[in-house]
Amino acid sequence: MKTAIHSILFVFISITAAQAADQPNIVFFFTDDQTTSTIGCYGNDVVQTPNIDALAARGVRFENAFVSHSICWVSRTTILSGMTGRSYGTPGNPELARAGAVDTLYSDILRANGYRTGYFGKWHAKMPKGYVKEDHFDEFEAIGRNPFYKKQPDGSLRHETEVIVDRGIEFLKSQPKDKPFALNMWFNACHAEDGDRRPGIGHFPWPRAVDGMYDDVDIAPPRLSDVAIFDALPAFLKTTINRE
């Protein structure tokens, strides 16, 4: 993914398949902490996202959706469980999903209906103690951001975004032709932090192939970055999570 701004975006692509029309193949891209305003198919005329734009043109693009709780792990757990944050947690421990709320993930429902499922990329969903996430997918590999560049068997460094795509391609190549699939590739690079730096590589999150792409471009600041907007919030919102 070639953008690294903030908020959350997910692109849900339905691919034409030989299976019956009611069982299309599914490829689910989730780019953690990326807002729709940073993508060409949603109207951005500066940021270059040709591959996302092409996929959106052939698939499904959400135009009337929003995040009910703007914290990354909450959004992921909501998608996995089908429940909002206030529904899968408890008042005493809202930052942990109840066991009963995550016994069945959406991937389990798909598997029960004949789908082969794969999950590659960022997980970080706060599940109950002893939860075995691998049991909910036919193939599963958590691929995180530490480090973004991962050493390969040949000694080279490969960006985590590229590693996730590699795993997704391998999953597709191993797919039986007579069975529908649901592939999840959940990316992490857009969830950049100030400490993501490494000597000799520079700012950590993006692949070298796109380094310097926007050096000569003026990108407007986010429209919610005006300090006056924060100052106008109720007092309790100014001191809640990540706002101290």
Residue spans of the chain under pLDDT 70: 1-21, 68, 192-207, 240-244
Which pLDDT belongs to residue 182? 97
Residue 179 has what pLDDT? 94
> CA-CA distances (angstroms) from residue 84 to 69, 188, 209, 212?
8, 21, 37, 39
Active site residue 190: no
Give the model's pLDDT for residue 19.
Answer: 46
Among residues 62, 98, 70, the alpha carbon closest in space to that of 83 is found at 98
Amino acid at residue number 163? V
15's CB contacts (< 8 A; 6+ apart) are: 24, 25, 26, 27, 58, 59
Amino acid 136: pLDDT? 97
- Residue 32: name the closest of 48, 55, 51, 11 by CA: 11
Amino acid found at 214: Y
Alpha-carbon distance of 82 to 80, in angstroms, equals 6
Specify whether 72 is catalytic: yes
Residues in a beta bridge with 187: 31
Which helix (DSSP H) or strand (DSSP E) does residue 17 occupy?
A: none
By the 10 Å C-beta count (0-12 exposed, 13-18 middle, 19+ buried), 107 is classed as buried
Burial class (CB in 10 A: 0-12, 13-18, 19+), 160: buried
Write the pLDDT tens digit of every residue in 120-177.
999 988 899 999 999 999 999 999 887 788 888 999 888 889 999 999 999 999 999 9
Length in residues, the chain: 244
pTM of the predicted structure, to 2 decimals: 0.79
In the chain the first and final C-alpha atoms are separated, in Å, by: 31
What's residue 15's pLDDT? 46
Taking the C-alpha atoms of residue 11 and residue 28, their distance in angstroms, rounded to an integer, is: 6
What are the strands, taking DSSP E only, across 32-167?
116-121, 139-142, 149-151, 157-159
Rounded Cα gap, residues 144 and 87, in angstroms: 27
Q: What is the pLDDT of residue 96?
A: 87
Give the SS3 label for residue 242.
coil
Catalytic residue (one of 6, 124, 136, 190): 124
Alpha helices in the chain (DSSP H): 50-58, 72-81, 85-88, 106-112, 160-173, 227-231, 235-238
Residue 150 near residue 141, CB atoms below 8 Å: no
Catalytic residue among 72, 136, 190, 191: 72
- Which residues share a beta bridge with 202? 198
pLDDT digits (tens, 9 = 90+) for 233-244: 888 877 765 554
Q: Which domains does the chain possess?
A: 9-215 (3.40.720.10)
